[in-house]
Amino acid sequence: MPAHTIAAATVDLTPSPLADDQVVSGNPQVSALEILTERALEVGVWQHTAGVSTDVEADEVFVVLRGRATIEVAGGPTLEVGPGDVGVLQAGDRTRWTVHEDLRKIYVVHG
């Protein structure tokens, strides 16, 4: 892929609806844009609107661009994230995302 840039904070994302069993409360909407997929590496922009949902994670490092959320990791820590925070999730982590303000992040997934 040739060198390029995107405006990660404002780029249009593609809706990626949550499964009904992932929605805990509210009407959270998820959207994403994959920027790069190379071998076992995926990089993209992801957004989750206010609400509560669950997920099973991949090995991921992310940087929050905007918004605020509480991420509860089953059997692990509770992460409070906001703009500028860098988070790390492990493959298999079962998480509960309580998004207080629409959250947008850049993610890097290995796996």
Q: How far apart are CA 48 and CA 63, in angstroms?
A: 14
Percent of the chain with pLDDT over 90: 94
Q: What is the mean pLDDT of residues 102-111?
A: 96
User: pLDDT tens-digit profile of 27-39?
Assistant: 999 999 999 999 8
Residues in a beta bridge with 99: 51, 69
User: pLDDT tens-digit profile of 42-80?
Assistant: 999 999 999 999 999 999 999 999 999 999 999 999 999
Q: How far apart are CA 99 and CA 111, in angstroms?
A: 25
Q: What is the pTM of this model?
A: 0.94
Say which residues have a Cβ less than 8 Å from residue 109's Cβ, sequence separation at least 6. 41, 42, 43, 58, 59, 60
pLDDT of residue 4: 87
Structural domains of the chain sorted by starting position, each given as residue range(s) with its CATH number in brackets: 14-110 (2.60.120.10)
For residue 1, pLDDT beyond 80 = no
Q: Taking the alpha carbons of 109, 35, 16, 82 in that order, is the dihedral positive or negative?
A: positive
Q: How far apart are CA 59 and CA 90, in angstroms?
A: 4
